[in-house]
Chains A and B, each alone.
Chain A
Amino acid sequence: MTVLMAATAALLFSVGTYLVLQRKLSRIIIGLGLLTHGANVLLITSGRRGTPPIVGTGDPARFSDPLPQALALTAIVITFAVSALLLALAYRSWLLTHDDEVEDDVGDRAIAAARGPEGDE
């Protein structure tokens, strides 16, 4: 079972990494979502499997570990908020430029253009 969970996390990380390296912002955002899913799967796997950890409903020695579940919930909420902000930024970028591409830095491009065709300055 742990192998299955680890493999799932690995798959999510690899697909997410591939998508984050793309040029289009929408793909980058999906890739980031998959990466955070992978991290959360890893977080849940780090705790012990068992019955739901509610006080008074059974043998405490057989409860699953509640701490990683709480950590995963916190992480999910935080990344949810940041993803929402990122989507708003992406939409704003679309409104301004009608394009989805992530461009190079303006200053870097200016310096490259200045030094390039003329050779040494």
Chain B
Amino acid sequence: MRQLLAVPVVLPLLGAAVSILSGRSRVVQRVVGVTVLTVVTGVAVAILVHVDGHGTLVSRAGGWPASIGISLVVDRFAAMMLVVGEVMLLCVLVYAIGEPGAERNHVGFQSAYLVLAAGVALAFTTGDLFNLFVAFEMMLTASYVLLTLGGEREQVRSGTTYVVISLLASTLFVATVALLYSATGTVDLALLAERIPSLAPAVRSAFAVLFVVVFGIKAALFPLFFWLPDSYPNAPSPITAVFAGLLTKVGVYAIIRTQLLLFPADVPARLLLVLAAATMVVGVLGAIAQDDVKRILSFDIVSQVGYMIMGLGFVTVAGVAAAVFYVVQHILVKTTLFLSGGLIEHVGGSSRLSRIGNMVRSAPGVAALFFVPALALVGIPPLSGFVGKLALVEAGFDAGEHTVVGISLVVSLLTLYVMVKIWNGVFWSPSEEPEAQAAAARRAGRANGPVWMVAPTTVLVACTLAVAVAAGPLYSLSTRAARDLVDPHRYVEAVTQRVGAGGGSGR
């Protein structure tokens, strides 16, 4: 089973190579892409089932021992993220194939997409801090390519902003790794978890905050999120869906992993709660001011990241379990929202609220595909967002953090306002430019859009509903994952195979 850990990373890279070599035949490219991602999704599910039953899986690259080599470490949290990420990547790829846009016009789309998939898988499974940097760079470079495919003026402008900010974050990451190496002598996460407690408290706190900044830029935390609404809306819809659903969540994953594993006694909880509250509020206020569906949803990503960091800021098993559950369900919901936003743009001709309208008559399928994830995002029972927010609120009250929980509930109401605004603007109110919209609808063919765009969106909506139905078992899984996360000894033992390393806790 441990040999399978490398498959989600290696197979997409091989697929990317084959894809670029067969650039002449779009059919071969598509077959390779969809096959690779389907296989990787199956492997990810198998890994999750095994890890949940038997504990953390460790695979050493090259067979080198832990102090010298790089290990791939998959615990329950990593396995859950891997499964959700791969499902999401597969659905968005099918959507991109169906959309007359970036994938059809550019030979390099499929291979860049598969490199992105490999980078994301490596980021979730690696057990080495510098390998995490390499995984981030793999993922980011592929995203630079996907963002600027086509070289139009707006894409180049927003792409430049995105590349500069990401390069700054990477430089900060390298500097932090350098300082950490000179303080502890290792970059392996498990060995760091053993050696960091022996540093001075001020040094530990400084590193903890440095890591929050480094990954906060990627996760779009306040006040580091301003690049996101600048760059995300100008990409093609499937690319924005992948970025929104996955890339920011890799940043959140990295924050959770480094804070809980490396700095269990020094998590800057107060700072995280303040930043989470500010992120939630500023994100939703920004969303209210916008006129374009994709820009509204981009600001909303920022707001939702605040919820996940709030769960982390409680630093209890219940808080972290709520955060894990929220991340998993939010990846599905956010991606679905962006895909239906793309459908709105395809069928309506524009995504500006002031231009389109009355689509509940002309495209009722699209209306339904937007309605369900929008309600899930806001947190209407019995959908998945409600379960996530309820878990966060309960964990917050248990931890005594009433202010932040109150702020999160107010932000939920504002999110409802934003979703109602989109619903009114796009689906209910009459159209400002009915001829342009009718022309776009005729160009789109079927009333609700091409089959291969509607089908993956429907599958993802079904996944969010499945998460809502299976919320009980899924939340139990999140709680087991949170127990692994809050207690770093299990992780360290699994990697170093030294029982009682760093002092046991009587389990």
Is B154 an interface residue when CB atoms closer than 8 A count as contact?
yes
Q: With contacts A68-B178, A82-B144 known, is A92 near B163, CB below 8 A?
A: no
How far is the CB of B489 from the nearest CB of chain A, in Å? 26
Binary flags per residue of A69-80, CB closer than 8 Å to B gives 1, else 0: 001001100110
* Contact residues in A for B160 (Cβ distance below 8 Å): 25, 86, 89-90, 93, 102
Is A46 an interface residue when CB atoms closer than 8 A count as contact?
yes
Q: A46 CA to B161 CA in the complex, in Å? A: 31
Is A57 an interface residue when CB atoms closer than 8 A count as contact?
no
Which residue, A25, A46, A105, A110, has most C-beta atoms of chain B within 10 A?
A: A105
Is B437 an interface residue when CB atoms closer than 8 A count as contact?
no
Q: A32 CA to B165 CA in the complex, in Å? A: 10
Least CB separation from A105: chain B residue: B230
Chain A contact surface mostly: helix
Partner of A92 from B156, B161, B167 at Cβ < 8 Å: B156
Q: With contacts A102-B161, A103-B157 known, is A36 near B148, CB below 8 A?
A: no
Which residue, B134, B154, B167, has most C-beta atoms of chain A within 10 A?
A: B167
Partner of B168 from A35, A85, A92, A97 at Cβ < 8 Å: A35
How far is the CB of A70 from the nearest CB of chain B, in Å? 9
Inter-chain contact A46/B148, CB cutoff 8 Å = no
* Contact residues in B for A85 (Cβ distance below 8 Å): 141, 144-145, 163
Inter-chain contact A92/B151, CB cutoff 8 Å = yes
Q: With contacts A90-B160, A107-B292 known, is A81 near B141, CB below 8 A?
A: yes
Is B105 an interface residue when CB atoms closer than 8 A count as contact?
no
Is B181 an interface residue when CB atoms closer than 8 A count as contact?
yes
Binary flags per residue of B132-161, CB closer than 8 Å to A gives 1, else 0: 011001001100110010010110111111
Is B107 an interface residue when CB atoms closer than 8 A count as contact?
no
Give chain A interface residues in 45-96, CB to chain B under 8 Å: 45-47, 67-68, 71, 74-75, 78-79, 81-83, 85-86, 89-90, 92-93, 96
Q: A42 CA to B174 CA in the complex, in Å? A: 9
Binary flags per residue of B283-316, CB closer than 8 Å to A gives 1, else 0: 0000001111001000000000000000000000
Is A4 an interface residue when CB atoms closer than 8 A count as contact?
no
How far is the CB of A39 from the nearest CB of chain B, in Å? 4
Q: A47 CA to B180 CA in the complex, in Å? A: 11
Q: A90 CA to B161 CA in the complex, in Å? A: 11
* Contact residues in B for A36 (Cβ distance below 8 Å): 167, 171, 174
Inter-chain contact A35/B171, CB cutoff 8 Å = yes
Q: A28 CA to B160 CA in the complex, in Å? A: 10
Tally of A-B Cβ pairs under 8 angstroms:
111
Q: With contacts A82-B137, A86-B163 known, is A106 near B171, CB below 8 A?
A: no
How far is the CB of A90 from the nearest CB of chain B, in Å? 7
Q: With contacts A40-B174, A68-B181, A82-B141 known, is A107 near B164, CB below 8 A?
A: no
Q: A44 CA to B130 CA in the complex, in Å? A: 14
* Contact residues in B for A46 (Cβ distance below 8 Å): 178-179, 181-182
Is B248 an interface residue when CB atoms closer than 8 A count as contact?
no
Q: A105 CA to B175 CA in the complex, in Å? A: 30
How far is the CB of B206 from the nearest CB of chain A, in Å? 15
Q: With contacts A43-B174, A46-B178, A97-B153 known, is A86 near B292, CB below 8 A?
A: no
Q: A96 CA to B157 CA in the complex, in Å? A: 10
Q: A40 CA to B184 CA in the complex, in Å? A: 18
Inter-chain contact B156/A93, CB cutoff 8 Å = yes
Q: A47 CA to B179 CA in the complex, in Å? A: 10
18 A-B pairs within 8 Å (CB atoms) are namely A20-B164, A25-B160, A28-B164, A32-B168, A36-B167, A36-B174, A39-B175, A45-B178, A46-B182, A71-B181, A82-B144, A82-B163, A86-B163, A89-B156, A92-B148, A97-B153, A103-B157, A111-B290
Using A32-B168, A67-B181, A102-B160 as known contacts, list a sample of 10 further A-B pairs with CB atoms less than 8 Å apart, ordered by residue number in A.
Answer: A20-B164, A40-B174, A68-B181, A89-B159, A89-B163, A93-B156, A93-B157, A96-B151, A97-B153, A111-B290
Can you list the 4 inter-chain pairs with the closest CB atoms, starting with the nearest? Answer: A46-B182, A43-B178, A39-B174, A42-B178
